[in-house]
Amino acid sequence: MAQTPENRDDPRVWTWLMSLAFFALCLIRLTIPSAPYFDEVHYLPAARELLAGGEWLNREHPVLGKVLLAVGIGLFGDTPFGWRIFPALFGTLALFALMRAQWFASQSRFASLAFGILVATGFILFIHARIAMLDVFMVALFAVALWQFAAAIREPETGRRRLAITGFALGLAMGSKWNVAILAMLPGLMFFACRLTAGRRRLLTSQRGIPIPGISLLEAFLWLGIVPLTVYWLTFLPAYFATERPLELGGFIALHQTILDLQSSVKQPHPYQSHWPDWVLNLRAIWYLYEPVDGAQRGVLLIGNPLTMLIGLPALAWCAFAGFARKRWDALAIATMYAVSLGMWLFADKPIQFYYHYFLPSIFLLAALALALDEFWQRGVKWVPVAVLVGSIVIFGWFYPILSAAQLEGPQSFLLWTWLDSWR
């Protein structure tokens, strides 16, 4: 096939610049607090044991995220920088890959750049790019899968290579944290549905038709079904070689019941627990940190950007409408991924849930908002998207001290940012 002409609207350079700026912002006070905080107290001991070849700890989650933390410790030392540098790198990768996915899905320069601003200032990615938890690895690797899958559809001449990367990234994302497992099925299901509607007589072997000409349904099953599951299994290899209580050969399937049992066994109420309506309305925050540390009162508050988390809701409704009524497949895909990523928590056997489970749905909400703002932009009503983007940046700046563990004036400083009693 002839090479696709380079699209001069592609915001590739701006995507790089915004991602590098985000990474630089993440590095500020990355080593504060100097002691593990919040769930770092669970994941860092597990990473140290993996690095030492000892016991396989924290068995309620897959292994890969803790392996990545262990690599950071091995390269940069068992220090705050060593703990958190890989989350910062993967948080930056997440931002870059999400912007590229939005570009290939929408072919809108403005939507891609707006999405980058919204995600970078949406609080949740920034906080998780600065703490040694597993969520940012899952989100970054799934974002890579979305980027490559959207690019494969947009540029079918690269489809085989990009589908292979998609499958590989899906397996790694599942190997980081299970929250993405149902979403990981969507690319394969979408490929099957598209090929089914194409009406090919040789459904399994025909290489014609949407979504990616040149790729048969059988080959797509390899890249989007077999490869992710194989890669996912390979991420557990360190567990087989643990010196204490290793994963036994033939015990991989049974392990998943153990993980499910561990996930559902935590039933004691927690002060920060919440449920999906709280997440959607941005009602329940989590203080990852609020105490005197490193010579000052400091805090890290996990909550979504109060502006964009709420105005993103009508944007989601617009995406669903545009997807069905106007056949805007990018909008429909975003609305579907939001519904699936949030809907799984309505049925998940996990009695105690927290706001950080909204990480993935919030990404799709901001993607929907970016498309809605692009609609205003294309119609010439540019003051609306400009006001929203500037507002998102300003609010991020206002909350920045308690997103980045900055020095606060005293124990009552939290009152400046806890606009709702439920955020305290």
Neighbours of 108 (CB within 10 A): 21
Nearest residue to 353 (alpha-carbon basis) of 262, 237, 283, 269: 269
DSSP string spanning 322-360?
Answer: HHHHS--HHHHHHHHHHHHHHHHHHH-S-SS--GGGGHH
How far apart (Å, rounded) are the C-alpha atoms in residues 281 and 44?
32
Q: Is 14 exposed, middle or buried (0-12, 13-18, 19+ CB in 10 A)?
A: middle
How far apart (Å, rounded) are the C-alpha atoms in residues 314 and 318?
6
Q: Both tokens of residue 126?
A: 């920034």
Per-residue pLDDT of the chain (424 residues; tens, 9 = 90+): 334 445 678 999 999 999 999 999 999 999 999 999 999 999 999 999 999 888 888 888 999 999 999 999 999 999 999 999 999 999 999 999 999 999 999 999 999 999 999 999 999 999 999 999 999 999 999 999 999 999 999 999 999 999 999 999 999 999 999 899 999 999 999 999 988 887 667 888 888 888 999 999 999 999 999 999 999 999 999 988 888 888 888 788 888 888 888 877 777 777 888 899 999 999 999 999 999 999 999 999 999 999 999 999 999 999 999 999 999 999 999 999 999 999 999 888 778 888 999 999 999 999 999 999 999 999 999 999 999 999 999 999 999 999 999 999 999 999 999 999 999 8
Helix (H, G, I), strand (E, B) or coil at 241: coil
Segment (H or E) for 109: helix 109-120
Q: Both tokens of residue 122?
A: 């949406």
Neighbours of 205 (CB within 10 A): 11
DSSP 211: S
pTM of the complete model? 0.95
122 near 392, Cβ under 8 Å?
A: yes
Helices 227-234 and 159-176: crossing angle in degrees, nearest 10, is 40
How far apart (Å, rounded) are the C-alpha atoms in residues 357 and 417?
22
As a residue count, the chain comes to: 424
How far apart (Å, rounded) are the C-alpha atoms in residues 232 and 185?
13
How far apart (Å, rounded) are the C-alpha atoms in residues 299 and 406?
7
Q: What angle do CA 340, 230, 239 make, to 5 degrees?
A: 100
Segment (H or E) for 47: helix 40-52
Segment (H or E) for 68: helix 64-76
Neighbours of 410 (CB within 10 A): 9
Q: Both tokens of residue 422?
A: 């439920």
